[in-house]
Structure 1
Amino acid sequence: MVRILPAASASTSSSILYMSSLRPSLSSSSSPIRFPSSSRLGIPLCCAYNPSRRLTLFHLSSAIPQSQLFGAKASTPLRAEGNTIEASSAGNMAQPSTAVTEENALEWAKNDKRRMLHVVYRVGDLDKTIKFYTECLGMKLLRKRDIPEERYSNAFLGYGPEDSHFVVELTYNYGVDKYDIGAGFGHFGIAVDDVVKTVELVKAKGGKVTREPGPVKGGSTVIAFIEDPDGYKFELLERGPTPEPLCQVMLRVGDLDRAINFYKKAFGMELLRKRDNPEYKYTIAMMGYGPEDKNTVLELTYNYGVTEYDKGNGYAQIAIGTDDVYKTAEAIKLSGGRITREPGPLPGINTKITACLDPDGWKSVFVDNVDFLRELE
């Protein structure tokens, strides 16, 4: 159902495809939305690929404390992997002197070799979600790990190997079968050859369709919206072959211009396009490291008058590759972001990372490019 164009044969065209205008409501309704303003918060391997547990660790996957879980059934505390790493002794390690001035922060971020690596979120039934993604969305199970001593499992799925494709990292915390997705997370985007056929398959497998196939309002691109077993929304976009079918992550922000400036300066992303929809009271901005039809992009949505969102505890973070986590951290600080894990090697494995929050509180983790490839070997 999903056709993948090998990365080596991808065209260098910078054409951008028009996408859905249904960003705020994820439905065919034209009424504006309003969200609460309070903030709440790896099976046998399927390929010739045997990553070590080290890789699982630096992904900061998202086993979280039970006190933060929604609908948690586990009776014992769950390890907060990301928090554990942030509280590590990395702060005592000697770090290179890589001060970045405000003048060259933007230049560094733009010249850095960055790529969106994976997106992390929590699910209540790992095998059920894997089955849905592989059978309905055409993803491949790249690897799955169980860490019983830390009471969680995770799985990586996508449309190609992790060293060249954006993938999803699913985390299952023992005993937790439900999460609050919140109102801030929007959806993931999947490019497919035939939206109608994909929707028929989703229905046949018991999936939920929240927006039937049809052209976007004011455009011709055929889209549909579905939900996975945990309620995460996916927008299906009808496109030709693409090297990156997992093409969007949509997040809602309270100040679009502030978010755009932050991701341009701190993350080195380009503003690919911006579109205001006064009729439906929202504006979107597509940010990324290349054109939408060939790369995964971050879709930021601003709903008129909404400045804060409930983020829930389901969605976790995006991981991005970088050539230098130290310079990246400095650029983030200078751009108004907050570092939640100071740059440096993870204890015992030497994979260098840094983690941050954007002005809206969305988390991202930057991983050293060389270390990332080494850990995949």
Structure 2
Amino acid sequence: MSATRRALHWVFKVGDRTKTAKFYREVLGMKFLRHEEFEEGCKASCNGPYDGKWSKSMVGFGPEDDHFVVELTYNYGLGSYQLGNDMQGITVHSKQAVENAASHNWPSTQIDGATVVKAPDGYPFILVDKQESGDPVKKVTLSSSNLQRTIDYWTKLCGMKIFSQSDKSVTLGYSDNQCKLEFVDIGQPIDHAKAGGRIAFSCPRAELPDIESQMKAAGQTILTPLVSLDTPGKATVEVVILADPDGYEICFVGDEAFRELSQMDSTAEKLIDEAIAADKSDEWFAKKGLVKSSE
């Protein structure tokens, strides 16, 4: 099972695309791979529980076929999101990112030999001064309220393998050369607040109904039963959205259509810049003496 599945991306909600684009480009050294604008909310709540205009940008170190990337969702009119205790950080091995953070005087702290920086919305990235072959994005670290329960869910129901484990943490994944998922037991309930993200994996399309029925039989949470999602002018993908015992949202998407949908768009950098330039919402709020909503 695990050989047929792969880690795809983590979803962050962002409130300021200008500052966010600068961070991912100039500090992390990533590139925009795709950008889409939508007039109404996603059927699978990809942009959160919001029905208005929004955008989705995929940003990473390389093609989504063999890199774990970040999905940035932006809801027009929302300027910030309350952080919870769920996201502990995304680990990136990149000498260049460490140098970039220093040259841009980006606020940072040193923890266990790594440089920890935060994106404009407060999401942490753990930069390790190493240059290795393959994808620089090594793991996503999340909090767990009950480590054994977390392990049981992700191994027995999601089919992940354990790569390392201690009394307080576990590192899971589908294969050696993919981004891993690490959980750290914090011994208290997980609060996703409003900024809570989502992790996505692909699997053969034929496995999606089985994933849904297995979760149903186990009495687990299914947030969105098997559904088709359209992107104008691109492939239609099928997804099942789940939630683990701590409420982490998990998207399983059919791999065949997703590989078609996720092809790099050479105009992505231009599209995000044009969208930022055309977005006059900050100016409108400023003229009215108002600030964007905070969730």
TM-score by length of structure 2 reads 0.77
Which of 174, 190, 212 is the matching residue for 2:110? 212
Which of 248, 265, 271 is the matching residue for 2:139? 248
Which of 135, 142, 154 is the matching residue for 1:263? 154
**1:122-271 correspondence to structure 2 within 5 Å:** 122-148=13-39, 150-193=52-95, 198-209=97-108, 211-212=109-110, 216=112, 222-271=113-162
Task: Show CA shifts across 1:146-196 (max 9, x none).
Answer: 2356421221100111122111000111121111121122111111136xx
| Number of the residue aligned with 1:272 | 163
Structure 2: distance between partners of 1:134 and 1:113: 31
AA aligned to 1:249 is V
Structure 2: distance between partners of 1:352 and 1:148: 20
Structure 2: distance between partners of 1:172 and 1:127: 11
CA contact (8 A) 2:66 2:135 kept: no
AA aligned to 2:146 is D
| Number of the residue aligned with 1:308 | 189
CA contact (8 A) 1:112 1:322 kept: no
The CA deviation at 1:336 is 4.9
Structure 1: distance between partners of 2:16 and 2:91: 22
CA contact (8 A) 1:340 1:357 kept: yes
CA contact (8 A) 1:207 1:228 kept: no
Q: Does 1:341 align with 2:220?
A: no
Structure 1: distance between partners of 2:219 and 2:7: 21
The CA deviation at 1:267 is 1.4
The CA deviation at 1:361 is 0.6
AA aligned to 1:191 is H
The CA deviation at 1:200 is 4.9
Structure 1: distance between partners of 2:140 and 2:2: 23
Comparing 198-207 with 317-326, which one deviates more in the overlay?
198-207
The CA deviation at 1:347 is 7.2
The alignment's C-alpha RMSD in Å is 2.1
Structure 2: distance between partners of 1:344 and 1:212: 43
Structure 1: distance between partners of 2:19 and 2:248: 27
Q: Does 1:114 align with 2:9?
A: no
CA contact (8 A) 1:248 1:297 kept: yes
Q: Does 1:367 align with 2:253?
A: yes
| Number of the residue aligned with 1:353 | 239
Equivalent residue of 1:177, what SS?
strand
Structure 2: distance between partners of 1:274 and 1:189: 17
CA spacing shift, 1:151–1:326, aligned 2, 3 Å = same
Structure 2: distance between partners of 1:200 and 1:239: 11
The CA deviation at 1:239 is 2.9
Give identity over the alignment, percent: 31
AA aligned to 2:250 is S
AA aligned to 2:101 is V
TM-score by length of structure 1 reads 0.61
The CA deviation at 1:350 is 5.0
Equivalent residue of 1:359, what SS?
coil
| Number of the residue aligned with 1:80 | none
Task: Show CA shifts across 1:233-280 (max 9, x none).
Answer: 11112333131211211111111011011101121111110123xxxx
CA contact (8 A) 1:322 1:366 kept: yes
The CA deviation at 1:375 is 2.3
Structure 1: distance between partners of 2:158 and 2:4: 11
Equivalent residue of 2:7, what SS?
strand
CA contact (8 A) 2:202 2:255 kept: yes
The CA deviation at 1:366 is 0.5
Q: Does 1:332 align with 2:231?
A: no
Structure 2: distance between partners of 1:269 and 1:118: 16
AA aligned to 1:174 is Y
User: Rg larger in 1 or in 2?
Assistant: 1
**1:75-114 correspondence to structure 2 within 5 Å:** 110-111=1-2, 113-114=4-5
